[in-house]
Amino acid sequence: MTGGTDLQIPGRLVLGVQKSFNQNAWRDRLSEDEQRHAMAISQRLGVPDVLARVMAARGVLPESAEAFLAPSIKTLMPDPSNLVDMDSAVSRVADAIQSGKNIAIFGDYDVDGATSSAVLARYLRWTGIDPVIHIPDRIIEGYGPNGPALEHLKAGGADLLVTVDCGSTSFDAFEVARSVGLNVVVIDHHQVGETLPKVAALVNPNRQDDLSGQEHLAAVGVTFLFVVGLNRELRQRGFFNGKAAPDLLALLDLVALGTVCDVVPLKGLNRAYVMRGLEVMHQRRNPGLAFLVDVARVVGKVAPYHLGFLLGPRINAGGRIGDAALGARLLTSEDHVTAREIAARLDELNTERQAMEAVMLEQADAQATLAIEAKDPAVLLTGSDDWHPGIVGLIASRLKDAHRRPSFAIAYDETGKGTGSGRSIPGVDLGKVVRKAVDEGLLEKGGGHAMAAGLTVLKDKVEALTEYFDTHLRADVEQTNASRDLKIDGALTATGANLDLMNMLEKAGPYGAGHSEPVFVFPTHRVSFADVVGKGHVRASLASSDGAKIKAISFKAEDKPHGKALLEKRGQSVHVAGSLSVDTWQGTPRVQLRILDVADPQTSRR
């Protein structure tokens, strides 16, 4: 079944669930207009109602539905020249290529930075330039370009520096660059103010004077646009006469990885980047990526989930607790022996990171619980002298999920100066208030965007900072948490959750940030089996009234209300909500349900 009377009124409770075991109300995701759009899409394209509902709920209009199902990078990509300073950046780098100048790349230490660096480096190698890549050490150098690093690059022979995923606010560092005669081109996507550093060109769709409409792109997406523009310029100059032009589409596997891991909205061009990039990744053309897929033990077709939760964390592990340059080296390596060794090392570092994270999270959660019991702050600030600065962002994310409020985790050094990272919830702009706190003198440094922020704070100012956040964000936090709704796309049974359905749903993907994975309810299914596996995961088997079964799992749910309910309700019927995926076990694909919530058919209507 793919519908029902409970799903026909916008915002209406689905299956009458007012309060699930996780205290959520289950509501239809579609508005009245979206329901009409779904009907029109189904009729116009002849697609099943369940697919039409998923598309309409994600803003697809009937007139654009056909193009949505077959996104084209060529159609969706803007003219690179639409971005402010793009032509200047392209001209400066094209001149350097034709003159055989030495080009250095300075990238951020996260996945977006590593993939951006790799995209540019691979392209430059195709033109005969072998660039130096510098990825800063997170602990020693911090984020973004710094004077000593730029002086070192210049001393090493660099004539032109291209920064990727950083540089838009590097005023002091670029003054150093000017003093030593190092020309700079910036390719970035971070939010910036009106004043920009003095460089040869600064390409950033989030510049206040940029009207290109590409502010949703990750840095790697902007870098790919730059490469497209650069390739066009070189072609017009006759650079490729007598030789094959580079295959730009071969870079899309890197673009897909960086786009997913930077959690930018998977809409428009981003969605096309990821969809086409996954196809390239399946061809295993990049040795480093291929070996990374292997060490991450990805089975079956690579999906956005694998990029965000298996591949990305391994690249990030180098920047968090190891050698920050490992990720970029892996993604640019053509030597299979080297690529295999780096992939294995990143896998080891990721295991070490997981162990450190577990200890830190236990301590942070204890601090958060005490703070909530004492003062119930709108924003959680936790910290320790013993925490690793490279892992605080992960801790903040876990706290945010567990306590449903913006959260920071801060690592203090011996002087009492803390390096912290924060994560927010929808509707609460964390980056904005952090920037204000810098202006108020509460923070040494700070910045970010709505959903994530970083800061440097002295330990003796944390209490005042907590009060400051409380004053400025409590209303937004309370408004967001006033409605605890789980949005539902449709209703299914174990019988209907088959591979044919998954093939249909795949056409409306890939799913991720800004293009959420569909959530379906499975009404009155019997828990025929449930137990705990791994590190607190709950696996189960659900049976519909006709006897069909579907395998299910709920990650890290052993101690959560819905996980406990699954274990306690063995042999009984429950309503279950979750997302579907294809699990390939021993070469045989099968549909699996990832359980997000559980409700009691008898008591959830109260």
Looking up tokens 């052993």 gives 558
Residue in 272, 293, 297, 276 with CA at minimum distance from that of residue 284: 293
Q: Whole-model pTM?
A: 0.89
Q: What angle do CA 497, 499, 501 make, to 5 degrees?
A: 60
Alpha-carbon distance 501 to 512, whole Å? 19
Residue in 319, 339, 320 with CA at minimum distance from that of residue 329: 339
Indicate the pairing of strand 160-164 with strand 183-187.
parallel
* Number of residues that make up the chain: 606
Alpha-carbon distance 201 to 203, whole Å? 6
Give the containing element (helix H, strand E) for 549.
strand 549-554
Decide: helix, strand or coil at residue 177.
helix
At 8 the pLDDT is 42
3-class DSSP string for 499-534: HHHHHHHHHCCCCECCECCCCEEEEEEEEEEEEEEC
pLDDT tens digits for 392-445?
999 999 999 999 999 999 999 999 999 999 999 988 999 899 999 999 999 998
Contact between residue 312 and residue 330 where contact means Cβ atoms under 8 Å apart: no
At 380 the pLDDT is 97
Alpha-carbon distance 374 to 165, whole Å? 40
What is 75-348's CATH number?
3.90.1640.30
Q: How many CB atoms lie within 10 A of CB 532?
A: 15
pLDDT tens digits for 460-470?
999 999 999 99
The answer to whether the Cα torsion of 597, 600, 605, 606 is positive or negative is negative
Contact between residue 577 and residue 593 where contact means Cβ atoms under 8 Å apart: no
At 3 the pLDDT is 37
At 5 the pLDDT is 35
Looking up tokens 């951020």 gives 108
The CATH class, in words, for 5-29+489-599 is mainly beta
Alpha-carbon distance 527 to 497, whole Å? 16
At 577 the pLDDT is 98
All residue ranges of the chain with pLDDT < 50 are 1-10
Structure tokens at 84: 């402010």
At 606 the pLDDT is 60
Q: Which residues contact 303 (CB under 8 A, 6 or more apart)?
A: 278, 510, 581
Structure tokens at 362: 């236990």
Alpha-carbon distance 508 to 69, whole Å? 6
At 411 the pLDDT is 97
Question: What DSSP state is assigned to residue 581?
Answer: E
- Domain range 375-484, CATH architecture: Roll (3.10)
